């Protein structure tokens, strides 16, 4: 599976280079559509904006849907301040502490893109005596536009307005020791893994007995990504997202994580059991954990009324919603678990 792992890393770099916070995902879904067509599939855009792919399979009455999301955290211009700086509101769970001093891009609706930096208001520590004591929230943060502007009128003349999307640099790095460091590994790493699995099926001429679909959702970070577009005959939804790494959990970045329960409740007992058995059968490096602050596309499907079993797996990711870290082995173990579990 080495060549497929290399492909996953290539696609991770490609996906993270495309700005795609929730609500601003057309470019990344256009890219996915093109890549799947090149592989020989017939992807379809959903009305909502996601990408749905039929991977084949004979049993259409007991189908399985894999879901990964390609929307990320970001921000939106809420106000142009009188001094020409921007007050923003977060898209998804972006944390102000993790956005400080990050380079960003302001995508206007009609007048191109501008660069900027997210900073604490009055960010010069030699001037601001309360710098260390100020709690970082979006009420005390602002985007400095990298243009010679110092008034609201000058910014408006650039074509910037409320509702424009602010995207942050991913800073994607792959180290010599195999660590993957980037913003938005949640969930572009697992999206790349699904692409790798689809490539494996096509290149190896594997026709699964069970009909398989993939759905790349575009509103997961705001809670309703997987709430629609499940094909007829699907009885199981498997969310392939990030596995949590942190205190009180056993998963590490080089492992695949199987989630037994998150903040929304337990995942289907039989699905979790079968995932564990599949991991053991292939002697994979895996962990089973309970995520304390988490929700998935699979749960969104259940809340929308779909009568399906559900599960959640993913490569271990540390520092979630910040500058995240995983490992090539975590991606490989996730791919191999999909291969083992889906047959």
pLDDT tens-digit series, residues 126-164: 999 999 999 999 999 999 999 999 999 999 999 999 999
Name the pLDDT band for 87 (thresholds 50, 70, 90): very high
112 pLDDT higher than 80? yes
Matching residue, tokens 């509101």: 89
Report pLDDT for 2.
76
Name the pLDDT band for 343 (thresholds 50, 70, 90): confident
Quote the crossing angle between the two packed helices 2-16 and 26-39, to the nearest 10°: 150
Q: Show Cβ contacts of residue 341 under 8 Å, excluding neighbours closer than 6 positions.
A: 238, 274, 275, 278
CB 196 within 8 A of CB 335: yes
Please say if 204 is a catalytic residue.
no
β-pair type (44-45, 141-145): unpaired
Name the pLDDT band for 216 (thresholds 50, 70, 90): very high
Report pLDDT for 253.
98
Task: Name the CATH architecture for the domain at 74-165.
Answer: Beta Barrel (2.40)
Report pLDDT for 220.
98
> Sign of the CA dihedral 253, 257, 260, 266?
positive
Q: What is the pLDDT of residues 238-283, one digit of tens each?
A: 999 999 999 999 999 999 999 999 999 999 999 999 999 999 999 9
117 pLDDT higher than 80? yes
Q: How far apart are CA 306 and CA 241, in angstroms?
A: 20
pTM, entire model? 0.97
CB 237 within 8 A of CB 65: yes
Mean pLDDT (whole number) for 109-130: 97
CB atoms within 10 A of CB 140: 14
Q: What is the pLDDT of residues 41-66, one digit of tens each?
A: 999 999 999 999 999 999 999 999 99
Q: How far apart are CA 316 and CA 133, in angstroms?
A: 33
Domain ranges of the chain: 2-72+184-342, 74-165
* Marked catalytic residue, from 67, 142, 220, 236: 220
Superfamily of domain 2-72+184-342, CATH level 4: Zn peptidases (3.40.630.10)
Tokens of 40: 């020989």
**More confident position, 2 or 196:** 196
């Amino acid at each position: 599976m080495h060549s497929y792992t290399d492909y996953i890393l290539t696609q991770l770099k490609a996906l993270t280079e495309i700005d795609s916070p929730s609500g601003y995902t057309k470019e990344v879904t256009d890219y996915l559509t093109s890549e799947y067509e090149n592989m020989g599939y017939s992807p379809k855009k959903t009305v909502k904006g996601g990408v749905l792919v039929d991977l084949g399979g004979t049993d259409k009455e007991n189908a399985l849907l894999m879901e990964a999301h390609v929307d990320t955290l970001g921000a939106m211009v809420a106000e142009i301040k009188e001094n020409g700086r921007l007050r923003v509101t977060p898209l998804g769970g972006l944390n102000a502490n993790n956005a400080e001093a990050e380079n960003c891009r302001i995508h206007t609706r009609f007048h191109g893109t501008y660069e900027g930096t997210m900073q604490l208001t009055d960010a010069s520590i030699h001037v601001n005596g309360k710098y260390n004591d100020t709690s970082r929230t979006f009420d005390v943060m602002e985007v400095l536009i990298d243009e010679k502007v110092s008034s609201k009128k000058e910014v408006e003349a650039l074509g910037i307005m409320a509702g424009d999307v602010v995207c942050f640099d991913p800073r994607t790095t792959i180290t010599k020791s195999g660590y993957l460091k980037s913003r938005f590994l949640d969930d572009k790493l697992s999206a790349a893994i699904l692409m790798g699995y689809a490539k494996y099926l096509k290149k190896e001429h594997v026709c699964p007995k069970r009909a398989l679909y993939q759905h790349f959702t575009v509103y997961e970070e705001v809670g309703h990504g997987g709430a629609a577009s499940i094909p007829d005959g699907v009885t199981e939804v498997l969310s392939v997202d990030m596995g949590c790494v942190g205190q009180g959990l056993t998963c590490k970045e080089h492992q695949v994580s199987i989630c037994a329960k998150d903040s929304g409740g337990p995942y289907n007992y039989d699905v979790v059991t079968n995932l564990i058995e599949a991991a053991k059968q292939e002697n994979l490096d895996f962990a089973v954990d309970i995520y304390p602050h988490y929700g998935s596309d699979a749960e969104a499907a259940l809340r929308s009324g779909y009568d399906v079993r559900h599960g959640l797996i993913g490569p271990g990711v540390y520092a979630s919603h910040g500058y995240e870290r995983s490992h090539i082995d975590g991606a490989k173990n996730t791919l191999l678990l999909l291969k083992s579990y889906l047959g």
